Amino acid sequence: MKSQLAYFNGLFSAGTKNASASPYSVMVRKEVSDQVRSWRFIVLAGLILLTFLGSMYVSLSNLRQATANAADPDRLFLYLKLLTITDGTLPPFHVFISFLGPLLGIAMGFDAINSEQSNGTLVRLMAQPVYRDSLINAKFTASLIVISTLFLSLSLLMTGGGLMITGVKIEPSELVRILCFTVLSIIYVAFWLNLSILLSVRFRQTATSALTAIAIWLFFTVFYQILVNIIIKAVLPDPNTLTESQIISYNNIILTVLRFVPSQLFTDATTTLLMPSVRSLGPLTMEQMAGAIPAPISVRESLLVVWPQVSGLIAATVVCFALSYYLFMRREIRT
């Protein structure tokens, strides 16, 4: 009974000013302020803002042509067009994100644990009455909050700017698609964030973990495709000797192999979300295409198409987090 009373005491005093926050929320607050004040975040956020403004400028100046193009089934989705069209001088915003997002994630996480350890602050924190996992959870949550705020404000800025400049009403389905794109970008950056946190737990030197994270990123963005192409050329039989169904099955295998890359998953998913007329991410047979009208599909259908990609990204994120959690909990805490 006494313990119950104590529980209620805690419950009622929680709202008053005298209450103390839980260690976890204290840590989150501190980490968020650290991230926001750190130079590398300011630099990267500035970079992303610049590319955002650049690609917005390019797409706004080409908006008239794009919406006038009668052959394009997506021409009426003005706000999605804002995110995707380009005249070739600058890549569209979502391509920039697939490129800069990993850098942002890596920059925010590569020294999460090992800098605390080499500074001697880790032992000091662990000597306080806090659970060890609070720290790694707080690090992840704080970075996630910062990333989410950044992307959400960018997409709202885009929508608002579009409203002001064109004066065209936004369709609910467009809003949903843009929000889904935002969430997807957050998940994508969260994957790289978790990967770099994992490396920061694994390696004692911040330089090692940063370089390893960048190496992984470079491998996936540049070398993986080259490697896959070389292997395919060496292994696959000559396409001229194959039947059509064999070519399709081989194509599917190649696509599956390429989709081990997170950026491929992200690109697949964003294209589908931002271009409503995309209805499949694999090759379609003539029978499947027969009778199909080139028209946009509904949000739900698009989401169904990208669902495997999204769950793949989430799974990769969770695996990285679980690994770093495991390693960190087993870790000897000493300088």
Partner 1 sequence: MESPIIEMHGLTKRYGSLKAVDNLHLSIAKGEIFGLLGPNGAGKSTTILMLLGLTEPDAGEARICGLNATRNPIPVKRKVGYLPDNVGFYNDLTALENLSYIARLNGIPEAEVQERSRQMLVEVGLEAAIHKKAGAFSRGMKQRLGLADVLIKQPEVIILDEPTLGIDPAGVRDFLELLRQLNQRQGLTILLSSHHLHQVQQVCNRVGIFVGGQLLAEGNVEKLAANLFNAAPWVVEVTLRTDVPQREALEKELLQLPGVKTVTGAANAVEVSGGEDITPDIVRCFVAKGLDVTGVHKKTYGLDEIYHRYFENNLKEDITNEKSTGLFQRSFLGRYKKR
Q: Which helix (H) or strand (E) holds 163?
A: helix 132-166
| Contacts (CB under 8 A) with partner 1, residues 163-222 | none
Stretch that binds partner 1, among 52-60, 85-93, 126-134, 227-235 (CB under 8 A): 126-134
Note whether 20 binds partner 1 by CB under 8 A. yes
Interacting span for partner 1 (CB under 8 A) from 125-133, 143-151, 180-188, 244-252: 125-133
User: Is residue 23 a contact residue for partner 1 (CB under 8 A)?
Assistant: yes
Q: Say which residue the tokens 């350890």 belong to.
A: 117
When the beta carbons of 120 and 160 are compared against partner 1, the nearer one is: 120
Nearer CB in complex with partner 1: 117/264: 117
Query: Which part of the chain contacts partner 1 (CB under 8 A), choosing from 13-21, 142-150, 233-241, 267-275?
Result: 13-21
By CB under 8 A, is residue 37 in contact with partner 1? yes
Surface-to-core class of residue 21, CB atoms within 10 Å of its CB (0-12 exposed, 13-18 middle, 19+ buried)? exposed
Where in 64-123 is the site for partner 1 (CB under 8 A)? Answer: 119-121, 123
**CB burial class (10 A; 0-12, 13-18, 19+) of residue 316?**
buried
Nearer to partner 1 (CB atom), residue 138 or residue 147: 138
Give the closest residue to 324 by CA, choosing from 207, 191, 197, 208.
197
CA dist., res. 84 & res. 334, Å (int): 50
Q: Which of residues 130-169 bind partner 1 (CB under 8 A)?
A: 130-131
Q: Which is closer to partner 1, CB of 14 or CB of 230?
A: 14
DSSP 332: -
Name the minimum Å distance from CB 125 to partner 1: 7
129 binds partner 1 (CB under 8 A): yes
**Of the candidate residues 6, 7, 30, 57, the single one contacting partner 1 (CB under 8 A):** 30
For residues 328 and 321, what is the distance between their CA atoms, to the nearest angstrom?
10
Q: For partner 1, which residue of 1, 3, 5, 17 counts as binding (CB under 8 A)?
A: 17
> Taking Cα atoms as reference points, which of 44, 154, 319, 258 lies closest to residue 250?
258
User: How far are the Cα atoms of 5, 155, 260 from residue 162, in angstroms, in the given order?
Assistant: 56, 10, 35
Per rule CB under 8 A, count of chain residues that contact partner 1: 27
Closest to partner 1 by CB, 138 vs 273, is 138
Residues 169, 282: Cα–Cα separation, whole Å: 33
* Nearest Cα residue to 162 out of 146, 147, 178: 178
What's the rounded Cα separation, in Å, for the pair 227 and 104?
A: 26
Residues forming the site for partner 1 (CB under 8 A) = 17-21, 23, 26-27, 30, 34, 37, 119-121, 123-131, 332-335
